[in-house]
A = this chain, B = another copy of it.
Amino acid sequence: MVGIDDVARAAGVSTATVSRTLSGRGPVSAGARARVLAAADRLGYVVSSSASSLASGRTRNIGVLVSLPDRWFFATVIGAISARLLPHGYDITLYHLTDDPAQRRAIFERSLRRGRVDGFIVLSAWMSDAELDELAGLDLPVVGVGASPRLASLAVDDEAVGRTATAHLLDLGHRRIAHVGLSADDPFHIPTRRRRGWEAALGGAGIPASDHDFAAADFTFEGGRRAARTLLAGAHRPTAIFAASDELAVGVISAAREAGLSVPGDLSVVGVDGHELSAFFEITTIDQFPQAQGERAADAMLAALDESADAPAPALPFELVVRASTAPPRA
């Protein structure tokens, strides 16, 4: 293992100068710098992360907290974070917050406290107050993605997302517009906010509350299908459904087909996310650019660590993408 003194010897300088050169902190003359770089390169020297961390207090590693690492949206965000951080010399370590209380405690009380990272990125993971306290107690920068009451977060305005989707349906002439999403009372909960947007848009259009059909579903294909079955079996069938995610929208469309309804002929459907499946199935959606979200989260973290990246605006962009699953209702 080639160490810093090997490089120092080869370059004819002290280890301090090698350290200064390689870390970019502190003054080094051009000549010394060149010799150090050459020697390091020739010897294939790479700083030992543990030695460097111990001495400097910096790890060059970012923790990512996520509860659903295998959902397309989060997997995409994680991939983007990692690709963005790498050129800055940061690695990412993944903390998978499962539902198991013992595992969660192990993470919050041990893993996170080992000092392995310089900061945390939290991906729409729900955390208890105690867990949030634990996180805050670490005294490290935290960047959230997805609204959270207690975390400085980058977030899409999910109420606006709900309003936009619903407005699109209203503009097409629909009046009976149902919603499929998660039900929760937490006003910071993303699905709740999308639902509020839907309600607000309907209210703004003067549509009576009795017409507001909502069906709860978890964020899976099957959940969307089940919720839509209920909605479509009702006496008072909606002509359009706003689904809180693209996975749900796929489920909704499947239920419509089962019921012998054509999309968009008999039923219009809008999803949210910009999932690859929404393009594949030609589903109208609100794209929220997960890739860009990951990149911005990374930038926000770099800014917090003072790595000279500009802090991105906290509001994340979204965009209605009209495709073949929405059309005016049948006369």
Contacts and interface: CB of A to CB of B under 8 A. Distances in A.
Given A54-B54, A116-B91, A221-B276, A96 B83 contact: yes
A96 B103 contact: no
Contact of A103 (B47, B61, B87, B276): B87
Interface stretch (A106-114, A237-245, A305-313): A106-114
A82 interface: yes
B82 A115 contact: no
If over half of A's interface residues share one DSSP class (helix, strand or loop), that class is named, otherwise mixed; here it is helix
Nearest to A290: B70
A47 B114 CA distance: 6
A113 B82 contact: no
Contact of A48 (B44, B86, B91, B115): B115
A156 interface: no
A69 B69 CA distance: 10
A116 B82 contact: no
Contacts of A230: none
A114 B83 contact: no
**Residue of A50, A103, A251 ringed by the most chain B CB atoms within 10 A:** A50
A265 to B, nearest CB: 16
A72 B61 CA distance: 25
Contacts of A251: 280
A168 to B, nearest CB: 24
A51 B54 contact: yes
**Residue of A69, A70, A111, A225 ringed by the most chain B CB atoms within 10 A:** A70
Nearest to A53: B50
**Residue of A59, A76, A86, A250 ringed by the most chain B CB atoms within 10 A:** A86
A182 interface: no
Contact of A106 (B50, B86, B110): B86
Q: What are the 10 closest A-B residue pairs judged by CB atoms, nearest first?
A: A50-B53, A75-B75, A49-B114, A70-B75, A46-B113, A93-B93, A82-B96, A50-B54, A221-B280, A69-B79
Given A61-B93, A86-B96, 14 more contacts: A44-B109, A48-B54, A48-B115, A50-B50, A50-B54, A50-B115, A50-B116, A51-B54, A54-B54, A70-B76, A79-B96, A87-B103, A91-B111, A92-B93
23 contacts: A49-B53, A49-B114, A50-B50, A50-B51, A50-B59, A51-B54, A61-B93, A69-B75, A70-B79, A72-B72, A75-B75, A82-B95, A82-B96, A83-B98, A86-B106, A91-B94, A91-B114, A92-B94, A93-B94, A94-B94, A221-B277, A221-B280, A222-B280
